[in-house]
Amino acid sequence: MGRNGEALKRAFVERARQIGFDTIRIAAPDSIPLAPERLKAWLEAGRHASMDWMADTAERRADPRVLWPDVRSVILLGVNYGPTGDPLATLAKKDRGSISIYARNRDYHDVIKGKLKEVAGFLASRASSDVKVFVDTAPVMEKPLAEAAGLGFQGKHTVIVSREFGNWLFLGAIFTTAELPADEPERNHCGSCRRCLDICPTNAFPAPFQLDARRCISYLTIEHKGHIPEELRPGIGNRIFGCDDCLAVCPWNKFAQASREAKLMQRDDLAALPLADLARLDDPAFRTRFSGTPIKRTGRDRFIRNVLIAIGNSGDAALADEAARLLDDPSPLVRAMAVWAVGRLLPREAIASLGAGRFEREEDADVRVEWSRALGIQEEVAA
Ligand code: B12
Ligand code: SF4
Ligand code: SF4
């Protein structure tokens, strides 16, 4: 490798910084020997929930050399998306929806992919080597690789914590056939702290360093396509898209800095949207409202499902009308959560009057179960 590798690395790092990457480190392709076994155990325990693509790609995901046998160096790049204010401030506003920091502007996949392509092009031409770029979309274990490259350490919440930026970093990876000198790995600096584990509203950590996606609000509100299990709904509070609780409490965020990327800075108009307005979005209005942001990926029905859970958790009877308006929505996902929300906000007689006729007419089994619970009809649940 020698001097050529060092010089190439320096030039690459400089270019990557100019393009907008905040931290750039390099790992050898064989640097995550524990990952295959840990990924396998995670999948076998079912912790990937309905994300079948995690299981389907396990072999390639666990080892960069299986994904691309020619790879000689793995470059990990981080973009800081540090917030400017308290990321949990909106949780106290019960009539508002809380959207996680990462989703309060442009979809980071779009932003980072462009930057990765640009800097990978630079490398390919300088080193006359092949390159492949990855951001979240390919089977790559970005976090263990980032730790091996020394970009940060995987905290007990499983996310990468950087000593420069805290845990507000998006990760991207470039695989290359160029031989570049690898950096030193980072070691864990959690010590006896367990703030992230203790704050989780839905107890999604069965043990430190292990996350059960089936209980994680980020999974439930973004990835999960079906109904959200009843016992987890109260813990979701007003988080309508993603969750930042475990990230926000990490003491290493004292080193965090506000993002320098305009496309990733939080848009104030997305921070705390009135639930009453959101509940009225039809499909075209939803698409227009969230165009270009990660939020549009859930589609209108799943998003309104989340909004209705927040309405049900608001304790605000004034919002019951918004939920009642959705009792006849064409989507069973929406109807079911409309029933749950009115069931949480209104007295028994009001629920009975809303259910009259609707319960009898309802053909969807899951929505009928929600009506049965709301109306207190035990035998129907069992049937
Ligand atoms: C699937 C996924 C999810 C799932 C599952 C999360 C998870 N922890 O696996 C869900 C939907 C829940 C999710 C949520 C979020 N995600 Co996500 N997600 C991914 C994705 C696509 C794959 C992650 C993965 O491989 N999981 C499989 C498990 C097995 O891997 P692991 O988490 O690394 O697990 C390790 C530990 O468990 C460890 N381990 C196990 N036992 C032990 C024991 C000891 C002692 C030790 C030390 C370690 C250890 O070994 C495992 C392998 O190394 C990555 C992108 C990518 N391609 O990597 C983004 C990614 C991890 N997500 C990201 C983000 C930003 C989020 C959210 C913050 C979004 C939000 N605000 O809502 C939350 C954070 C929730 C959390 N606490 O993790 C970023 C994280 C950036 C960073 N700084 O690390 C990534 C890297 C995307 C990106 N390109 O930037 N995500
Ligand atoms: S993102 Fe939220 S729900 Fe998921 S593990 Fe972290 S605190 Fe728990
Ligand atoms: S909150 Fe504490 S335990 Fe969790 S990642 Fe940060 S330092 Fe580690």
Tens digits of per-residue pLDDT, 317-345?
999 999 999 999 999 999 999 999 999 99
Which among 107, 141, 143, 153 is the best mutation to test ligand 1's pocket, defined by most ligand atoms within 8 Å of the CB? 143
Is any ligand 1 atom within 6 A of the Cβ of residue 39? yes
Amino acid at 155: G
pLDDT at 264: 72
Of ligand 2's listed atoms, the one at least distance from the Cα of 242 is 1
Token pair, residue 115, equals 């930057």
How much distance in Å is there from the Cα of 372 to the middle of ligand 2? 30
* Helix (DSSP H) and strand (DSSP E) numbers for the chain: 20, 9
Instruction: For the beta carbon of residue 77, count every other beta carbon within 10 angstroms.
Output: 32
Q: What is the DSSP letter of 229?
A: P
Instruction: For the beta carbon of residue 331, count every other beta carbon within 10 angstroms.
Output: 19
Higher-scoring residue by pLDDT: 264, 157: 157
pLDDT at 248: 97
Confidence of residue 49 (pLDDT cuts 50, 70, 90): very high
Q: Which residues contact 230 (CB under 8 A, 6 or more apart)?
A: 340, 373
Residue 218 annotated as binding site: yes
pLDDT at residue 268 is higher than 80 = no
Q: Which of 1-5, 114-118, 309-313 has the highest mean pLDDT?
A: 309-313
CB 61 within 8 A of CB 141: yes
Which among 250, 253, 254, 255 is the best mutation to test ligand 3's pocket, defined by most ligand atoms within 8 Å of the CB? 250
Pocket of ligand 2 (CB under 6 A): 157, 200-202, 204, 211, 216-218, 243, 245-246
Q: Is 243 buried (19+), middle (13-18) or exposed (0-12) by CB count in 10 A?
A: buried
Kind and range of the H or E element at 74?
strand 73-80
pLDDT at 3: 64
pLDDT at residue 1 is higher than 70 = no
Q: Where are the alpha helices (DSSP H) in the chain?
A: 2-19, 35-44, 52-56, 58-62, 64-67, 108-127, 142-148, 195-199, 217-218, 233-236, 245-248, 275-278, 283-289, 299-313, 320-324, 332-345, 348-355, 358-361, 365-375, 378-382
How much distance in Å is there from the Cα of 299 to the middle of ligand 3? 33
List, for residues 94-144, the tens digit of each pLDDT value.
999 999 999 988 887 888 899 999 999 999 999 888 999 876 678 999 999
Residue 61 annotated as binding site: yes
Which among 168, 190, 249 is the best mutation to test ligand 3's pocket, defined by most ligand atoms within 8 Å of the CB? 190
Higher-scoring residue by pLDDT: 260, 208: 208
pLDDT at 2: 60
pLDDT at 105: 82
CB 213 within 8 A of CB 192: no
Cα–Cα dist 245/72, whole Å: 37
Task: List residues bridging with 134 in a β-sheet.
Answer: 173
Residue 76 annotated as binding site: no
The verdict on whether 30 is a catalytic residue reads no
Mean pLDDT, residues 4-27 taken together: 95
Residue 216 annotated as binding site: yes
Ligand 3, atom 6, residue with closest C-alpha: 250
Pocket of ligand 3 (CB under 6 A): 155-157, 161, 190, 193-196, 249-252
Q: Where are the alpha helices (DSSP H) in 141-278?
A: 142-148, 195-199, 217-218, 233-236, 245-248, 275-278
Q: Where are the alpha helices (DSSP H) in 20-107?
A: 35-44, 52-56, 58-62, 64-67
Ligand 3, atom 5, residue with closest C-alpha: 155
List, for residues 204-243, the tens digit of each pLDDT value.
999 999 999 999 999 999 999 999 999 999 999 999 999 9
Residue 43 vs residues 15, 39, 213: alpha-carbon distances, Å: 38, 6, 11
H/E/C letters for each residue in 111-145?
HHHHHHHHHHHHHHHHHCCCEEEECCCCCCCHHHH
Is any ligand 1 atom within 6 A of the Cβ of residue 79? no
| Mean of the per-residue pLDDT values of the chain | 94
Determine the 3-state secondary structure of 192 from DSSP.
Answer: coil
- Of 92-106, 110-124, 253-267, 277-291, the poorest mean pLDDT is in 253-267
Is any ligand 1 atom within 6 A of the Cβ of residue 252? no
Confidence of residue 281 (pLDDT cuts 50, 70, 90): very high
Alpha carbon of residue 281 to chain centroid: 23
Confidence of residue 382 (pLDDT cuts 50, 70, 90): very low
pLDDT at residue 383 is higher than 60 = no
Token pair, residue 226, equals 């079906």
Cα–Cα dist 107/121, whole Å: 22
Cα–Cα dist 145/183, whole Å: 11
The residue annotated as part of the active site, out of 95, 136, 277, 329, is: 136
Angle, CA 247 vertex, CA 243 and CA 252 arms, to 5°? 170
Cα–Cα dist 370/367, whole Å: 5
User: In b/e form, how buried is each residue of 273-285, taking b as 16+ CB within 10 angstroms?
Assistant: bebbebbebeeee
Cα–Cα dist 75/62, whole Å: 16
How much distance in Å is there from the Cα of 213 to the middle of ligand 1? 9
List, for residues 113-124, the tens digit of each pLDDT value.
999 999 999 999
List, for residues 360-373, the tens digit of each pLDDT value.
999 999 999 999 99
